[in-house]
Amino acid sequence: MYEDFIKMAQDSLKPVMKMAENNTALTVKLMQSQAESAAELMQSNLAHAQALVATKDLNDMVEMQQKYVEALNEKLVVAAKENSAAIEAAVAEAGKIFEGSLVQAQAQAKKTVANIEKEMNKAGKKAA
């Protein structure tokens, strides 16, 4: 009986563990993306500042600044889209896990109801 209880507890925790793994994977992916983006931004900022310092013409500086801002904006949009896609994938996976656990819970409930009915029928026959 104790082993049955332990097995039931372990089975009921499987969806929670899958959700934790899903959340951990998402967190790791987002943190890696953020770290890579931050490093890339720092390097590009430094390179851009060095290029600006080396430039003597004000018009060239303004043009370089505009191009840099446009490129930076594109990089940020790409990073945001990648992060959004990762989050959407994790949410979809969470939905699958939740649906799977609902199906298992429904199956377990049906099994339990069937066992209760069976026991009640036995008890009714003994009483009669």
- Distance, CA of 100 to CA of 123 (rounded, Å): 35
In whole angstroms, what is the distance from residue 21 CA to residue 54 CA?
A: 49
Give the residue numbers spanning the domain of 11: 2-90
Residue 119 lies in a domain: no
Q: Tell me, yes or no, whether 38 lies in a domain.
A: yes
> Could you tell me the pTM of the whole model?
0.67
- Residue-level pLDDT, tens digit, the chain, 128 residues: 667 767 777 777 888 888 899 999 999 999 999 999 999 999 999 999 999 999 999 999 999 999 999 999 999 999 999 999 999 999 999 888 888 777 877 887 788 888 888 878 877 777 66
In this prediction, residue 101 carries a pLDDT of 77
In a domain? residue 83: yes
Asked if residue 66 is part of any domain, the answer here is yes
Separation CA 128–CA 124 (nearest Å): 6
User: How many domains does the structure of the chain reveal?
Assistant: 1
